[in-house]
């Protein structure tokens, strides 16, 4: 199923955008208007669709810049929902909270969803799709939210906003625990990362296709898009073998991915625009810091060199 046609969107390239620079991070210092403007002018050469993860100060700045500068972007805006249950199986031990924290998190999530609705209605010509959360149901998440809560949030959003609604998640939960959610969302959003599953670059595209089609063929009447797929350029060897990542491999995977998804009409958000030093551990080669097609100083990696 051509996901662009199914969602009444015109074809175009898409990328995940989080503009936090050195010394900036969510909950701390956010990028300025001028910094976001600089980013978006750089990105507009290559991409039509942006994915934003959170209804925070950064997202509001991005929307203001697009509107005021009349930039040709359409946005998938997400609500970043946080843990409502403990996940004792989180491999890095980050999924455990006190009961008071979980109560406050549920209040925060409702506020986040309400802000998502407000922004969707405030920017109806810029925000083209909406996500009720990100990687909150997969077994390894540190911000576990039960499927029943996600369903409630999707219903709340659909009742108050006009844009198509989804939930962004790793491909595995869509094959099992998210089946009750499929009937509620307007389209399915899939994350696929072969390199996190120890695949080398020669196996990468076929594995991505397997991940995508395993979900898409299970629900043939529901549009399926890819909201994260990418290739890291550095690793400390934890979770991703260092020999599998490089700028050369990132370029190969990007080109293979885009050629396939363009030919099939699959809306695909490449992960991600810029490296982000705030992510993951303090180790410089932490792979979470190195997914950008551009470095944190905005210089292009090999894949984006002209």
Question: Which CATH number do you get for residue 93?
Answer: 3.20.20.80
**Helix-, strand-, coil-residue percentages of the chain, each rounded to 5:** 40, 15, 45
- Partnered with residue 268 across adjacent β-strands are 226
Burial of 178 (0-12, 13-18, 19+ CB in 10 A): buried
Q: Is residue 90 situated within a structural domain? A: yes
Q: Alpha-carbon torsion 67, 69, 70, 73, what sign?
A: negative
Q: C-alpha angle with apex 196: 258 to 128, nearest 5 degrees?
A: 45
Residue with tokens 């490449």: 270
Phi and psi at residue 258, in whole multiples of 5°?
-65, -40
Number of domains the chain contains:
1
Average pLDDT taken over every residue of the chain: 97
- Residues 6 or more apart whose CB falls under 8 angstroms from that of 287 comprise 232, 234, 235, 236, 238, 239, 240, 245, 280
Q: Is the model's pLDDT at 306 over the cut of 90?
A: no
Q: How confident is the model at residue 34 (pLDDT cuts 50, 70, 90)?
A: very high
Q: Which tokens go with 79?
A: 């609500």
Q: Provide the token pair at 221.
A: 């009447």
Gap between the Cα atoms of 17 and 168, Å rounded: 15
Strands (E), 89-240: 127-134, 165-170, 188-191, 224-229
Q: Note whether residue 164 is domain-resident.
A: yes
**Tens digit of each residue's pLDDT (9 = 90 or more) over 63-114:** 999 999 999 999 999 999 999 999 999 999 899 999 999 999 999 999 999 9
**pLDDT digit string, tens, across residues 242-268:** 999 999 999 999 999 999 999 999 999
Do the domain assignments include residue 199?
Answer: no
Confirm whether pTM is higher than 0.95.
Answer: yes
Does the residue 239 lie in any domain? no
As a whole number of angstroms, the distance between CA 52 and CA 48 comes to 13
Position 145 in a domain: yes
**pLDDT category of residue 33 using cuts at 50, 70 and 90:** very high
For the chain, percent of residues with pLDDT exceeding 90: 97
- Tokens found for residue 148: 């029943």
Provide the percentage of residues in the chain whose pLDDT is more than 70: 100
pLDDT given at position 163: 98
Range of the domain at 61: 11-186+267-304
**Residue 299 is assigned to a structural domain of this protein:** yes
Query: So what's the pLDDT on residue 194?
Result: 98
Sign of the Cα torsion 184, 188, 193, 197 reads: positive
Report the pLDDT value the prediction gives residue 170, as an integer from 0 to 100: 98
Specify whether the CB–CB gap between 75 and 128 falls below 8 A: yes
Domain assignment present for residue 253? The answer is: no
Q: Is residue 111 part of a domain?
A: yes
């Amino acid at each position: 199923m051509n996901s662009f046609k199914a969602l009444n969107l015109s074809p175009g390239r898409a990328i995940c955008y989080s503009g936090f620079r050195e010394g900036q991070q969510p909950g701390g210092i956010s990028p300025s208007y001028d910094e976001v403007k600089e980013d978006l002018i750089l990105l507009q050469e290559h991409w039509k669709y942006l994915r934003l993860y959170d209804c925070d100060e950064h997202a509001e700045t991005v929307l203001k810049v697009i509107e005021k500068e009349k930039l040709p972007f359409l946005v998938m805006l997400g609500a970043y929902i946080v843990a409502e249950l403990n996940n004792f199986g989180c491999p890095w031990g980050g999924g455990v909270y006190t009961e008071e924290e979980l109560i406050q998190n549920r209040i925060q999530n409702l506020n986040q969803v309400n802000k998502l609705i407000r922004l969707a209605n405030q920017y109806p010509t810029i925000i083209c799709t909406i996500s009720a959360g990100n990687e909150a149901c997969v077994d390894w998440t540190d911000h576990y939210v039960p499927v029943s809560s996600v369903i409630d949030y999707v219903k709340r959003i659909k009742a108050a906003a006009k844009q198509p609604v989804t939930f962004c998640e790793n491909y595995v939960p869509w094959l099992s625990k998210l089946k009750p959610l499929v009937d509620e969302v307007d389209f399915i959003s899939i994350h696929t990362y072969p390199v996190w599953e120890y695949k080398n670059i020669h196996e990468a595209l076929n594995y991505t296709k397997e991940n995508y089609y395993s979900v898409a063929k299970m629900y043939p009447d529901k549009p399926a898009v890819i909201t994260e797929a990418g290739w890291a350029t550095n690793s400390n060897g934890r979770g991703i073998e260092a020999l599998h990542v490089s700028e050369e491999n990132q370029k190969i995977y990007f080109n293979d991915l885009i050629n396939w998804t363009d030919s099939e009409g699959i809306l695909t958000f490449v992960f991600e625009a810029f490296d982000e030093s705030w992510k993951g551990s303090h180790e410089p080669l932490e792979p979470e810091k190195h997914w950008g097609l551009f470095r944190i100083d905005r210089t292009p990696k090999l894949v984006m060199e002209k």
